[in-house]
Structure 1
Amino acid sequence: MTIEFSKQLKATATPIPGVVLYDLPVHGDNRGWFKENWQREKMMALGLPDFSPVQNNISFNEKAGTTRGIHAEPWDKFISVATGKIFGAWVDLREGESFGAVFTAELDPSQAIFIPRGVGNAFQTLEDDTAYTYLVNDHWSADAQGQYTFLNLADETAAITWPIPLEQAELSDKDKAHPRLGEVVPMPPKKTLVLGADGQLGKALRAAYAGDVSVEFATRNDFDLTAAASYADRNWKNYSTIINAAAYTAVDTAEETEGRKAAWAINTTAVASLATVAARHGITLVHVSSDYVFDGTTQEHDETESFSPLGVYGQSKAAGDAIVATVPRHYIVRTSWVIGEGNNFVRTMASLAERGIAPGVVNDQIGRLSFTQDIAAGIKHLLATNPAYGVYNLSNDGQSQSWADIAADVYELTGHSRDAVTGVSTEEYFKGKQAAPRPLNSTLNLNKIKATGFTPAPAKQRLSEYLEN
């Protein structure tokens, strides 16, 4: 066997999405050779996913012509030759447009290949005493074999040209019995779990992902965030994403004894449990944050601002954000003044207008409304485009307003006089009432999420549409 020495580390895309062939630098002299078989930092710089391998396996093959496959496994693999030479064949057995796509290549120790979950692989040794090694990002178990997908090595549709004809090769009886492509059940994608599916944002996420069978919605009855069994009784290996749309949002009640306990239990302790699951299983965690993590002394908040919460609700949300930020794959979506299906400020003002009531509404708290359809669309955009992990502000766009301004807009849009709304200060409005402190400035800078290609609709446009519907 002749090995090409001193190649540059190089990544080459293949016809199968996610399958990448790598050239590896091999350094040799009269004593033999050395190579960096797996170098996380360098390979990630070339675009290799940070797939977090947990197991290293070696397959030794005594004779040329030994042929294994075609097996699609429920984990990612990074495969390279240790000694000898192989002919590799890969067939996409995942659900989707690329199902059935084929790629073949000969590999020696100067090459490696990354195979995503659900892509079938097969190897035929071209030399005696060939060994190849593969890193996988899940532990093998007998239970996992039930999640494999197989294709017959002689499938006519894939039409793989084996260097050593299959009738002359060494095959197992199991491999000979695998189905043809027309009989293969494609491997489904990993699932997305939406928590808080009965809330305002949860309902909007249901609409955004309507018809997508890979998205699973859980209400508080399906998944109790405060129960240890919720985290222990689920096979997390089958999930790629968790969207946490659940939260304790009773801002004023959170200042009371029982409310304080509930706020911390749901907004912090439960979030820590979700973060543990996500980090352990390589899951992307999407967590919805709030303008209440700030004290409102800054006129506009960007994603780099430090926490400065005023009340218990904001403190519990800030603690949750800090925990989520430690998860390798996370999106913290920070929003404000949420409006969706259910009880909310806009519905209350519309009801008051219809009943002829002239309300006093706070005029010194400034921000933008965030309609749940746009929050859901923004979350869907982040997961589809996969920008850098981190915090993204997400409210509706347009001019900042006070609550009194928005109330006046509601009155006007429902055919009533704007003058029916009287502006009052926060201090005056809550005088004599038990209330949590509020940030006076809640406007979120949207430049970061806009840079990803997502621009939320203007708040006034969404308000008009909301009231029409």
Structure 2
Amino acid sequence: MTDLAVHTTDIPGLLLVDLPVHGDNRGWFKENWQRAKMTALGLPDFWPVQQNVSFNDEVGVTRGIHAEPWDKFVSVATGRVFGAWVDLREGESHGRVVTSEITPGRAVFVPRGVGNAYQTLEPATAYSYLVNDHWSPAARDQYTFVGLHDESLGIDWPVPLADAILSEADKSHPLLIESRLVPQPVTLMIGAGGQLGQALATTLPDVRALTRAECDLTDPASVAALDLSQVQAIVNAAAYTAVDAAESAEGRREAWAANVTGVAAIVARAREHGIPIVHVSSDYVFDGVATEHDEDEPFSPLGVYGQTKAAGDAIVASYERHYIVRTTWVVGEGKNFVATMAMLADKGISPTVVDDQFGRLTFTADLAEGIAHLLATRPAYGTYNLTNTGPARSWADIAADVFELRGRDRADVSPVSTAVYGEGKNMAPRPTHSALQLNKIVATGFTPASEEDRLRTYVAGLAARTVE
């Protein structure tokens, strides 16, 4: 009896799996699919939704080569087959071939876009496979086929095809050079117009970035119309973020529409297709009493914006295949606190800035890299805090740093309490402490850059735009 093991092959994502088979005088038993054990060894958590069994009476029954719009986990319940797989996806591995015998003790994981074929080596062979999408006539239109007879593939069929049992359809499929390429799966990113969205659009590989005009979370029809057929992950970087305006009657409705109702709609679409989702959250889900917040702290939002973000987080967390990325004080391309302070410094203005709210900046380059890291490495699903590193500081401290970097005196920034600053203004309540613990994201192998280094580089890069 072999140990459970997962082996890579020359085709990316195609994995051979050794299955322990326990036998005695009564027969044998095996765990054909064991999610916890197999995913721990590197098999994707592909969420099968349908099981199919193909029974084959004779030796030499040959089926394929078909690339289908889902992932498959293939095994046999009885008998043996010779399996052949051809990569039909776009990219450098297109046309690669892997072959192996499949027995009760050997299975294979076939990613979507890889053509799958087999030939029976024993009579009464029961060929079984799990898939992570339901078959439908529409799905059939997305198949890609290659002829079993294509000599360029170099497949050495145990039973010559002239003597094999084939369907008429399998006899007429095209050569590899004539077959349709299967497009690479994409990461769908919503919110491309925002600061984080701009960074994600240039950081995530194979990203389809949608602006609000292309996908509006507040419009159910817009979310329902999304084509998710080639989507491998969804990143939601869209949100209503006008913290003060959210306290108004109109702002409250808009915040709930985008941050709660819209999030529920996109999570429902993700769940429907079994697609992992990354959702960007905020420190505003906390009241800021604790000096530093970990991922397990209960929600305690102070204002409408925080309440909507907390409700959205709860909805996302109800779907098992999620990453909630909680962040603070975001700085990227566009209007933000650091850019504003640099502009004021250059214009000779001396601002008053609050000194009793504490946190860390998060530069969008690091936030985007962290999200890309989660999608590439796929650690345990859940919530991950992600900001730049360094000591928690006040807005006034950061403003003084910016002024100093622009050649102004730090003392030109006047500190003031939040209470005094907010007199006469319609300000939403804000958490006093926004710093987030980063141990969990660091444990996955990603350590964000220091806030000090990123601030220096960012402010230096503002020179040309600010002078203009």
Say whether the fold is shared (TM-score over 0.5): yes
What TM-score results when the alignment is normalised by the length of structure 1?
Answer: 0.92
Deviates more, 1:86-95 or 1:170-179: 170-179
The question of 1:198 aligning with 2:190 is answered no
1:144 to 121, 131, 139: 139
Indicate yes or no: 2:76 matched with 1:84.
Answer: no
* CA distance, structure 2, for counterparts of residue 108 and residue 191 of structure 1: 34
Counterpart residue number, 1:67 = 62
Matching of residues 385-464 of structure 1 within 5 Å? 385-464=377-456
RMSD, aligned CA? 2.1
Change (3 A) 1:404 1:153: same
d(CA) in 2 for partners of 1:120 and 1:346?
Answer: 51
In the aligned structure 1, how far is the partner of 2:262 from the partner of 2:146?
42
SS in 2 for 1:236: coil
Q: Cα distance, 1:289 vs. partner?
A: 0.8
Give, in whole Å, the separation in 2 of the partners of 1:388 and 1:37: 23
How far off is 1:30 after superposition? Answer: 6.2
Partner of 1:347: 339
1:176-224: CA deviation from partner (whole Å, max 9, x where unpaired): 3333333344322222111111111111112324xx5x31111111111
- SS where residue 269 of structure 1 aligns? helix
Query: Counterparts of 1:363 and 1:259 in 2: how far apart (Å)?
Result: 27
Q: CA deviation at 1:45?
A: 4.2
Q: Deviations over 1:247-289 (max 9, x none)?
A: 1111111111111111111111211112222222111111111
- The 8 Å contact of residues 263 and 313 in structure 1, kept in 2 or not, is answered as yes
Q: Is the 8 A contact 1:363 1:425 kept in 2?
A: yes
The aligned counterpart of 1:207 is 202
> Residue 275 of structure 1 is aligned with which of 267, 271, 287?
267
Q: TM-score, normalised by structure 2?
A: 0.92
Q: What is the deviation of 1:466?
A: 1.9
Q: Distance in 1 between matches of 2:363 and 2:47?
A: 37
The structure-2 alpha-carbon separation of the partners of 1:388 and 1:28, relative to structure 1 and needing over 3 Å to count, comes to closer
CA contact (8 A) 1:240 1:282 kept: no
Deviation at 1:459, TM superposition (A): 1.7
Partner of 2:464: none
Residue 225 of structure 2 corresponds to 233
More displaced stretch, 268-277 vs 46-55 = 46-55
- Cα 1:374–1:60 shift into 2, 3 Å: same
Contact 1:275 1:324 in 2 (8 A): yes
C-alpha displacement at 1:390, in angstroms? 1.4
Contact 1:200 1:372 in 2 (8 A): yes
Identity of aligned residues (%): 63
* CA drift at 1:77: 1.1
Q: 2:150 aligns with which of 155, 171, 174?
A: 155
> Residues 244 and 427 of structure 2 are in contact (CA less than 8 Å); yes or no, is this contact kept in structure 1?
yes
* Paired residues of 2:281 and 2:309 also in contact (CA < 8 A): yes
Whether 1:295 and 2:290 are equivalent positions in the alignment is no
Give the aligned partner of residue 99 of structure 1: 94
Change (3 A) 1:449 1:10: closer
> Residues 44 and 341 (structure 1 numbering): CA distance in 2 closer, same or farther, change over 3 Å?
closer
Match of 1:336 among 328, 337, 348: 328
How has the CA–CA distance of structure 1 residues 462 and 173 changed in structure 2, closer, same or farther, with 3 Å as cutoff?
A: same
Distance 1:25 1:201 in 2: 46
1:109 matched to 2:104? The reply is: yes
Question: Alpha carbons of 1:93 and 1:429: their partners in 2 closer, same or farther (altered >3 Å)?
Answer: same
**Distance in 2 (alpha carbons) for counterparts of 1:417 and 1:57:** 72
Q: Which moved more, 1:13-22 or 1:452-461?
A: 13-22
More displaced stretch, 414-423 vs 37-46? 37-46
Secondary structure, counterpart of 2:152 in structure 1: coil
Alignment check: 8 A CA contact 2:224 2:269 kept: no
**Structure 1 residues 41 and 350 mapped into 2: Cα distance closer, same or farther (>3 Å)?**
closer
Cα distance in structure 1, aligned partners of 2:30 and 2:375? 36
